[in-house]
Amino acid sequence: MTTEYKALAAQQLKWASAGILLIAMIVTAAWGVYTLPTPIVDGMLEADIRKQSEMWKRRVLLHIESPEATFQTSLMDAHDQEFLELMPEASDVYRFKLFHADGTVFWSTRPSDIGSTNTKSYFSSTLKNGEVYYTHEEVPASEIDDLILHSGLVDTRMDHHVAEVFVPVMQNNKFLGAIEFYTDITELRETFIWRVRLLLGALCGVALTAMTIVTLVLFRTNRNQVNALRARSQNERELMDEQLRLAREVRLLGELNEWLQSSRSLEELFDMVAKFMTHILPDAEGSVYVYSNSRDVLDGSASWNGGTHKDHIHPDGCWGLRRGRTYEYGATEVDFVCEHAEPHDGRPYFCFPILAHGETVGLMHLRSQHDSEEQFAQNKKLAQMCAEQISMAIANVRMRDQLHDQSVRDPLTGLYNRRHMTDQLRKLISRSQASGAPVSLIAVDVDHFKKFNDNHGHDAGDMVLRAVGSVLQQSCDGDEIACRMGGEEFTLILPGSSPSEVQGRAEKLRKAVEDIAVRYGEKTLPRITISLGIAHYPTHGTMPQDLMRSADDALYDAKAKGRNQVRIAALAHQAEDNKEHPQIAAE
């Protein structure tokens, strides 16, 4: 009797526990259904409005005749103002403002806003960095312009939810100002919250029903408890082993990513890839190929674990590249071998196209080691993650190289700029001090350049500068550097050339420029001539600034003596004798 009583009590306790658990789950589900939709919907609306704000900004800028001038001077014609005033009637925006770069409002749908200044920290940080700023707040209905037009909820007693989004206006990475849009999201927000709550309620109801059924079944069946516990224990052991393996892979992937992101060049990056892949996938031999600059072939860059790579392969020779997705040889009954995998011995392999920013930049090829086919197939996902890490690293290195190139190049002519020229001249002088190799500097100035701008316009002047820059660039070879100092002034650094060779090069440059014929529109511009000044290290200076000053003095001498000629810098005592010579003003 006592045993039966204990069994009955235990059974009742189980049912009571199940009932309490079910009630707790229902309460938790109800709380989740009520509270979770709000942040979810707010996040969705924020993402959507951020996208819409870019379209609103584009509409505003497309209908303004000169956006850059407008944001700098606040000047707009009647057509621009008419469009801006009508925009709230044709969009979800009920109010917007145009800001200068300093935060001052120079136009608004509310005239009272004009002249006010936004001094918030996000304006000088987030917006000036080219990022969109979003905020969401509740306001009285009286704050919404044209409430009937922009909201289906016309009850003026209730507060409305308004999204405020600031969109930066950039021009060539320069911050011109910002546009602030206001849009009423009350009705849309409430609709989505209601729908999400309905969906979550339905899902929770289904889940609770399913869990209730499962709970009842579990409570009624105890026959296989021992076997279930044994199976669970075995599964836990396997899961622990899998988790340990995944933890090791995640750690290695993290280390791989950290090292790859710190690489300074593609060569260094590929050395790191080869070392890490040996540890991450010891059962696979592999190689990496990267597209050449011409993109007609891929160059072999690295291999590991006994793998080899060819110097060059054609994109059409890889089924992964041709099909634009991972190719797995050995996974189907009928397979075709890639050309770059020849000679092939039947072992399975993977071809992973390496993608960066939507563009294929290379290929990672992995082949199973002998007698490791099963483990090789299980590591496909890990290999795919490795390819993704490598693709991001390649994209970062290339982007870093592009940004560095942009920072040292003159955008008009493509020549190096003054900062890069000064750095290289300093390095070449240091090298010359150690090796004794000669270094020469040629200062170049376009004669009567101001006349091109005055008589033919600045576009014609730009064409002249590009033409002269092209001649200078084509004349450089090896370590020689052509730079644009600013305006119509150029400089050439010629290491390793004797003074007579430098003078001959300068004269050839003068004649080459003189032979240029620049077409502008339907006419040919007047003849272009240049004046050149030569200075040699260390004869005319031992410091970069001294050498540049000597070359400029020689250039001024060439200008003073009639232009369109080459002059060599005077020695120190000769420069003293020539102190009284007039200087030619920059044209």
CB 365 within 8 A of CB 349: yes
With left for phi above 0 and alpha for psi between -120 and 50, is residue 372 left, alpha or beta? alpha
Residue 269 CA to its chain's centroid (Å): 19
> How far, in Å, CA of 65 to CA of 59, rounded?
12
Task: Name the token pair of 535.
Answer: 């200075």
Helices (H), 221-350: 225-261, 266-280, 319-323
Active site includes 373? no
579: tokens are: 């102190």
> Phi and psi (nearest 5°) for 116?
-75, 160
Contact 505, 494 (CB under 8 A): yes
User: In angstroms, rounded to a whole number, what is the distance separating the alpha carbons of residues 46 and 204?
Assistant: 26
Distances (CA, A) of 554 to 183, 340, 509, 568, 577: 65, 59, 16, 6, 14
Structure tokens at 64: 């303004």
Listed residue (262, 298, 256, 258) closest to 280, CA to CA? 256
- Please say whether the beta carbons of 163 and 137 come within 8 A: no
Residues 283 and 369 sit within 8 Å (Cβ to Cβ): yes
Residues in contact with 577: Cβ distance below 8 Å, sequence separation at least 6, in sequence order = 570
Cα–Cα distance for residue pair 231/524, rounded to 1 Å: 89
Rounded to whole angstroms, how far apart are CA atoms 156 and 300?
A: 70
| Token code pair at residue 325 | 């997705």
Strands (E), 109-223: 133-139, 160-171, 174-184
Q: Is the peptide bond before 582 cis (omega within 30 degrees of 0)?
A: no
- 368 membership: H or E segment, kind and range: strand 359-368
Catalytic residue from among 82, 187, 236, 488: 488
Within 379-498, where are the H helices? 380-407, 418-435, 449-456, 458-475
- For residue 165, the Cα-to-chain-centroid distance in whole angstroms is 23
Task: Please count the CA atoms within 13 angstroms of the CA of 196 that sit on its side-chain side.
Answer: 19
d(CA 286, CA 123): 50
So which residues are the catalytic ones? Answer: 488
